[in-house]
Chain A
Amino acid sequence: MSVSRRSGWIVATVTVAITMAYAYGCAPTSRPAGAIGNADAAARTYVAPGQHDEFYAFMSGGFNGQVGVYGLPSGRLLKIVPVFSQFPENGWGYSEETKPMLETTFGNIPWDDLHHTALSQTNGEDDGRWLFVNANNTPRVARIDLRTFEASEILQIPNSGGNHGSPFLTSNTEYVIASTRFSLPIPQADVPISDFKKSFKGTISFVSANAPGKMDVAFQLLVPGYNYDLARAGKGPSKDWVFFTSYNSEQAYEKLEINASKADKDFIAAINWKTLETCKKAGKGEQWPSTYAHNVMDDFTRTGHSETRKGVTVLTPQSCPNSIYFLPTPKSPHGADVDPSGEYIVAGGKLATVIPVHSFTKLLKAIEDKAYETEVDGIPVLKYEAILAGEVKDPGLGPLHTEFDGKGYAYTSVFISSEIVKWKLGTWEVVDRTPTYYSVGHLMIPGGGTTKPAGKYAVAMNKITKDRYLPTGPELTQSAQLYDISGDKMKLILDFPTTGEPHYANAIEASKIEKQQVKYYKLAENRHPQVTMAEREAGVERKGKVVHVRMTAIRSHFAPDNIEGVQVGDTVLFHITNLEQDWDIPHGFAIQGAQNAELLVMPGETRTLKWIPLSVGVFPMYCTDFCSALHQEMQGYVRVSPVGSSVPLSGNTVRAQGQAKRAAARGITLPTPPVTKAAAAHATHNP
């Protein structure tokens, strides 16, 4: 034996060590490198200090009930817009003016699950006027005015349980469309849940949306008791149609996880809204008793008003024939997305092994040829083969939702295999795929659901982040990932955390929104019943147990800033008018022991905080928004006396009186802002 036993041991040990090292080295790393160099990626997302982003991205906040506004490509968070949520930061849903915006027939519902966003459209293109969002839980749709970035209107959707398939839009913003995720007894009734098949129905709602302040449920279509999921309106040749996915055609009412996943195919509902409109006009609808809230923020009083509406027009497939067809679609489809040409309807069958694409031309032909497989509750089910344009093979596991780049390609988010798959329309071949980190839900391309996508970026909205960011306890941030899709290959260029859980988003060229910004509200047009147009008009007034404080805020003082004569248990209403007429000068208002919130009052606006003092004492109030060098001096006191005290009610407006006195001594009338014609024509509302 030429090799000694000792060296044999050494050789063996080294061999094992090398093998292990090799095997370890070949194990997949937990952090795959991006397909692009870091410096290159940084350059593509870098927006220099002082520069503006190219796109606004509006990302739904899911369970936070808000909308996050981001800049792309930087991923910088610009604003959170509270919609279906109270927001103590600025008093939304707490101030007397904004509380009515959250009224429903279930009472004041200060939260919701905001899933989807939809930018208003003209000729199938995003026009930047409004953003519509949905509330999933207590069915509502809201309009956000993109001049003010504030929710200006909220409409409750009756006969709906889980307003998930919403607020998708027809191509000229004629209708916001909304489907019920949960089928229900309609109208509501006390019935056994096991009577599901007999008693439960779904609804598809059409909300007229093109006139601000005048949203209404124009009509509803009663559909079989499935779960309705997502939707898209057609465009171009298919613009008179809307397409809704449904699942649970099994009509299971328990253990849906299994029982609703049995059928090979569920349906996409293809609905001709023009036909429904004609039927409604022809009086074929029935007026059903249902109540729902409609809340509008008035432009001039900056006060929300809630009214309860009664009755809704309901159409059925029988009363309005040829208005709805079912397109068989594999396995519980999620997204139903229409390509920019309006010809292809792409279904994201979340349990399917292919992505089926239906052809609109073939759909029309199949209807003409009556190529029906069967009929469900009077709804013709078209033959799958007769309408199919093609199937994308091997798209990954769990395709959910598809957007388009306007250059002939489609991008599908694939949840289970955590990737984006790029494929070609027409040939249906997969041309690229890239991982997401992790579990992508929806994806978004600026204008990717419109006739004119800006196919430069794609944003993946991921449900799970695990190791992608610094950990923050059991709950980790949700995440967006930005991909450069301008070339053949998708390139991951940025991760950025998002607020809430974005289910969907829209992005639009900043130029369409930037120029229309409202910088302040015109004081001259303020028609709030408790407006204080100038300091000298400020004051306090008692009406029984209610004390109205009409207070002004201007850099850097309140008038009055000392109030006496308030008594324990009084309802004190602070009506704060911000007299500033300059951009970016809001004033805040806070008082010790306020059980609701603080207020942010925009320039020219009046907002009201209710305060009920519970004990005797002197309580400070102050401005919460750093407004000026003397912001810290912007404060005052309220003296609270016992019930029945003889302390007279007074508010010191010394400063204001002094100003008026000095002006009078010089023979000057202080200017009161003139009321403009539009504002003059607007009556004040007494709340």
Chain B
Amino acid sequence: MNATVRSRVLLATAALALGLSLLFPLWRVSLTAPQYPEGLGMHIWAHTVSGVGPNDLQNINGLNHYIGMQTIEPESIPELKLIRPGIIAMMMLGMAAAAVGRMNWIRAWTVVLILTAVLGIADFWRWEYDYGHNLDLEHAPIQIPGMSYQPPLIGSKKLLNFTATSWPAIGGALAIASVVLGTAAAFSGGRTLTNDRHERVRKVA
């Protein structure tokens, strides 16, 4: 079944949006506290984790040592090596699917995208869980029984004196847009269907 022009354009746009998401951070975790009125923040990119301000990551790590949290080192997160090539591959496959114009390809691409996105978010949550729970209590100066420090996936959460707020950043928004556009492309119907209907309409006339 061939795809409609609209479906192919939607898919190409979805692939483009996904590719563009590499140029921006996917997620942003912001931290504010009474003594940090200006706030600290982290950007999660497809390939790395960086501070919003020039030394934010270093300062967040510095603060985290009080509660025994592991140092956030992008080099120690292997997934960050996979996401960028994965996104590039998906972008190219999406473009190819749009070029070929087969409905199966389009639907398959969208399904893969949604699955990997869910997997990615789950993995992000798992890392957050790991940082928040897997504490080095032997060396943590501040230990509060029962307290864990997992930042939220989306929304705000109070962690001791800090309020952690987590939201998709521009890259994340682009990735979400890509999923939406891909889904729209998958449901835009194929040309055979349309031709059938035309023929039926013609016959009735």
Which of A's residues lie within 8 Å of B, judged by CB?
520, 554-556, 580-583, 629-630, 633, 663, 666-669
Supply 7 further A-B pairs (C-beta < 8 A) apart from A581-B59, A582-B62, A630-B141: A580-B59, A580-B62, A629-B66, A629-B142, A633-B141, A666-B76, A668-B73
Residue of B nearest to A604 (CB): B55
Interface flags, B41-76, vs A, CB<8A=1, else 0: 000000000000011001100100010000101011
Within 8 A of A (CB), among B126-153: 141-142
Contact at A555–B73, with CB atoms within 8 Å? no
| Complex contact B75–A668 (CB within 8 A) | yes
Interface residues of B (CB under 8 A from A): 38, 54-55, 58-59, 62, 66, 71, 73, 75-76, 141-142
B75 touches A554 (CB 8 A): no
* Inter-subunit contact A668/B55 (CB<8 Å): no
A666 partner residues in chain B, CB cutoff 8 A: 76
Residues of the B chain whose Cβ atoms lie less than 8 Å from the Cβ of A633: 141
Query: What are 21 A-B contacts with C-beta separation under 8 Å?
Result: A520-B55, A554-B62, A555-B62, A556-B141, A580-B59, A580-B62, A581-B54, A581-B59, A582-B55, A582-B59, A582-B62, A583-B38, A629-B66, A629-B141, A629-B142, A633-B141, A666-B76, A667-B76, A668-B73, A668-B76, A669-B75
Q: Which residues of A contact B58 (CB under 8 A)?
A: 581
**Across the interface, which residues of A come within 8 angstroms of B73, CB to CB?**
668
Cα–Cα, bound, A556→B65 (Å): 10
Report the minimum CB–CB distance from B91 to chain A (whole Å).
30
Contacts of B141 in A (CB 8 A): 556, 629-630, 633
Q: Which 7 A-B pairs have the closest CB atoms?
A: A581-B55, A582-B59, A630-B141, A668-B75, A668-B76, A668-B73, A581-B58
Residue of A nearest to B73 (CB): A668
Residue of B nearest to A583 (CB): B38
- Chain B neighbourhood of A629, CB < 8 A: 66, 141-142
A630-B76 contact, Cβ under 8 Å, with A581-B55, A581-B58, A582-B55: no
B59 proximity list for chain A (CB < 8 A): 580-582
| B63 closest partner in A (C-beta) | A555
Pairwise interchain contact B55-A630, C-beta atoms closer than 8 A: no
Shortest Cβ distance from residue B74 to the other chain A in the assembled complex, whole angstroms? 10
Please name the residue on chain A nearest to B65 by beta carbon.
A555
Question: In the bound complex, what is the Cα–Cα distance between A582 and B31 (angstroms)?
Answer: 15
Cβ of A500 to closest chain B Cβ, rounded Å: 32
CA of A520 to CA of B59, assembled, Å: 13
CB contacts (< 8 Å) of B75 on chain A: these are 668-669
Closest approach, in angstroms, between the C-beta of B32 and any C-beta of chain A?
14
> Which chain A positions have C-beta within 8 A of B66?
629-630
Q: Which residues of B contact A555 (CB under 8 A)?
A: 62
Q: Which residue of B lies closest to A520 (CB)?
A: B55
A669 to B59, CA, bound (A): 18
Residues of A within 8 A of B38 (CB): 583
Q: Which residue of B lies closest to A628 (CB)?
A: B66
Q: How far is the CB of B67 from chain A (nearest CB, A)?
A: 11
Q: Who on chain B is nearest to A666 by CB? A: B76
> In the complex, A520 Cα to B58 Cα: how many Å?
14
A210 to chain B, nearest CB (A): 30
C-alpha spacing A160/B88, complex, angstroms: 73
Of B59, B62, B73, B76, the most chain A CB neighbours within 10 A belong to B62
Measured in the bound complex, the distance between the Cα atoms of B71 and A485 in whole Å is 57
Closest to B36 in A: A582
Among residues of A, the one whose C-beta sits closest to the C-beta of B58 is: A581
CB distance from B56 to the nearest CB of A (A): 9
Chain A residues within an 8 Å CB radius of B76: 666-668
Cα–Cα, bound, A375→B134 (Å)? 89
Determine how close the nearest CB of chain B comes to the CB of A430; give it in whole angstroms: 49
Which interface residue of A554, A555, A630 has the most chain B CB atoms within 10 A? Answer: A555
Q: Please measure, in the bound complex, the distance between the C-alpha atom of A556 and the C-alpha atom of B142, giving whole angstroms.
A: 12
Alpha-carbon distance between A520 and B76 when the two chains are bound, in angstroms: 28
Give chain B nearest CB distance to A150 CB in angstroms: 21
Complex Cα–Cα for A630 and B62 (A): 13
Q: Which of A556, A580, A581 has the most chain B CB within a 10 Å cutoff?
A: A581
B52 vs chain A, min Cβ distance (A) = 13
> How distant is the Cα of A555 from the Cα of B141 in the complex, in angstroms?
11
